[in-house]
Structure 1
Amino acid sequence: MASDLFKASGFGSGLRRRAAVGIGVLIGCTGLSSRAMAGEAEAMTLLKSMTRYMAAQQAISFRYDTDLEIITNDKQRLNLASSGTVSLARPGSIRATRSNGFINTESVFDGKTFTLLGKGRNVYMQVPINGSIETLVDELKDKYRRPLPAADLLLPQAYEELTDGVIDVKDLGSGVIGGVECDHLAFRKKDVDFQIWIAQGDRPFPCRYQITSKLISGSPQYTVQVSDWQTGAAAVGQDFSFVPPDGARKITFDDLKKMKDMGELPSHYQL
């Protein structure tokens, strides 16, 4: 069920604040349509500015916290929380860590080889992938069925991916995420809704990104929140070489698929 959320969310794919008014006013207000259209236009402009800023950064590092909501067969909502770090250098280098209490992994890509290290088991898997970060995202999603969460925000075509199939747009005004004042935008597609909080000012990075699947009963959500955003010379973790830890054992991708504690979910979450 959770893997369906990743696919539906676009990982396997990418109103200014107003006073509340009564239903009668909403129905009878002849100026509502033009104001809504103005809100849509501003939201699209803010989103495009964010994606252009992201694409222009040659070196990036940040910390993240994620929250994956899972709906059990008896309709109970559970949440799987993870934290990690990401550092990247365009066009083709990235290093990412992820820990959720059950899984502790590190992924490294140097433009030629993708490595996944399972720190708990002290095992690592390597596959050849030659190209850019965009190539890596596509191959992990399509060939290996291991999509990178929220990777669509990092791609050069992020704006096109995010807006493809959008049927409703809202500018919800300001919000504060981790002490950073943000523009809060909401978008609807046929299969998913998503919200994004974009830092105001000259560094419009995504502070929070939330995706709601409409194809799964209960409409579970996936949220990623970003902190410690750094770019250029201030970006940390810009070494993309991989040196196996002492005693680490190399395994194949088929071996990896058999390890339940190396998947997207711990075994006892697969309800």
Structure 2
Amino acid sequence: MTDTGSSARLRKRWCGPLLALLLGATPLLGGAQQEKAATEPSARIDPQAQRILRQMSDFLAAQREFSVRTEGTLDEVLDSGQKVQLQRAGDVRLQRPNRLRVDRTGDLAKLHLFYDGRQLTLHGERANAYATTPAPSTVDAMVDMASQRLGLEPPGSDLLLSNPYAALTEDVCSGSYLGRSMVDGVPVHHLAFRNSDGVDWELWVEDGPRPLPRKYVITSRDLPGVPQYSVSLSDWNLSPRLTPDQFQFTPPRDAVRVSFLAPDSQGGAQQGGSK
């Protein structure tokens, strides 16, 4: 991936128009290949927090395939200033280097994402409509393309990339180790970080031989109402025996094909999709 700024944008913006399904959104786009922020002298990161974050990232990146259940909430600030929470839950299946599937249901939509190494497809089950576009040959490159060309930018996707540590530490200016706690009955380490771009985020990492992320919270402190995105990750399966057909999309009967909406250079929207 070439865009080293996309990870920061992910944690600063809320869900894009269609890809709000990843990692409870969880989570697709963004990332960086350069490990810069956490190693700069100006970044004040507790060594224990940095060590645990790197252990989690290296362990996750080493998994050839996995599946995980996500349950999360996304704050929405109404015009009145009142803050409400939207619920969502999903199942994520990843097979490196070039397959991803997300099935998500929530307050606003029931969505499915398919990426098979050649095409990216989003299917809205309630509307029985889908959009398909050619995609690059790796998950990282596909995520970058979706961000740049389609404007699909849900938070939390850094955890799916081939180098989570580089993506997560971009723009970090401080980090703390807050001690041990429990998430869904699992002992975890609680980490907290602050970015220079107006974003705070927390991560709860499983204690033990499987340093998996168990909870992820993103706070946009510079947005009205200081909204949060929170997702819990459970039912990790590191040997799910995934098959190619699970990542291929077959349109349901009477499904309508539509185009992606992509942002134009003026920040509006234009028709996108396969060409």
TM-score, normalising length: structure 1: 0.78
CA contact 2:29–2:157 (8 Å) conserved in 1: no
Q: Pick from 191, 195, 208 the counterpart of residue 215 of structure 2.
A: 208
1 or 2, which has the higher helix percentage? 1
* Other-structure match for 1:136: 142
Contact 2:121 2:130 in 1 (8 A): yes
The structure with more radius of gyration: 1
- The corresponding residue for 1:70 is 76
Does the CA contact (< 8 Å) of 1:87 and 1:237 recur in 2? no
The runs of at least 4 consecutive aligned structure 1 residues that moved more than 6 Å come to: none
Q: Within 2, Cα distance between the matches of 1:199 and 1:242?
A: 34
Cα distance, 1:251 vs. partner? 1.8
Tell me what 2:162 maps to: 156
Tell me how far apart the structure 1 counterparts of residues 96 and 65 of structure 2 sit (CA, whole Å).
7
Provide the alpha-carbon RMSD of the alignment: 2.2
Could you tell me how far apart the structure 1 residues matched to 2:118 and 2:242 are? 21
Q: State which drifts further: 149-158 or 196-205.
A: 149-158
Say how many residue pairs are matched. 227
Unaligned runs of 5+ in 1: 15-36, 256-271
1:98-133 deviation digits (Å, cap 9, x = unpaired): 111330110000011001111112111100012211
Q: Percent identity?
A: 32
Q: In the alignment, what sits opposite 2:6?
A: none
Distance, in Å, in 2 between the alignment partners of 1:96 and 1:176 is 27
1:94 & 1:59 partners in 2: Cα distance? 10
Counterpart among 95, 112, 130 of residue 106 in structure 1: 112
Tell me, in whole angstroms, the C-alpha distance in 1 between the residues paired with 2:261 and 2:50.
Answer: 43
Equivalence for 2:20? none
Say if 1:180 and 1:199, in contact at 8 Å, map to a contact too: yes
**Contact persistence 1:9–1:192 (CA under 8 A):** no
2:217 is matched by which residue type in structure 1? Q
CA shift for structure 1 position 235: 5.3
Distance 1:126 1:197, change over 3 A: same
User: 1:220 Cα deviation (Å)?
Assistant: 0.9
Q: Post-superposition shift, 1:74?
A: 2.7
What TM-score does the superposition give when structure 2 sets the normalisation length?
Answer: 0.77
The aligned counterpart of 2:54 is: 48
CA-CA distance at 1:168 after TM superposition:
1.6
Shift of 1:237: 7.2
Deviation (angstroms), 1:13: 4.5
- Alignment of structure 1 residues 161-200 onto 2, 5 Å: 161-190=167-196, 191-200=198-207
Equivalent residue, structure 2, for 1:8 = 12
Residue of structure 2 equivalent to 1:223: 230
Partner of 2:258: 251
- Deviation of 1:246 (Å): 1.9
| 1:84-123 matched pairs, under 5 angstroms | 84-123=90-129
- In structure 1, distance between residues paired with 2:232 and 2:243: 19
Distance in 1 (alpha carbons) for counterparts of 2:133 and 2:160: 22
CA contact (8 A) 1:12 1:142 kept: no
How far the C-alpha of 1:170 sits from its partner, in A, is 0.8
Deviations 1:21-73 (A, max 9, x none): xxxxxxxxxxxxxxxx8x81011000000000110001110110121112223
Aligned residues of 1:92 and 1:131 also touching (Cα < 8 A): yes
- CA 1:132–1:72 in 2, change beyond 3 Å: closer, same or farther? same
Q: Deviations over 1:180-214 (max 9, x none)?
A: 11100000112201000001111111100101112
* Conserved? CA contact 2:109–2:126, under 8 Å: yes
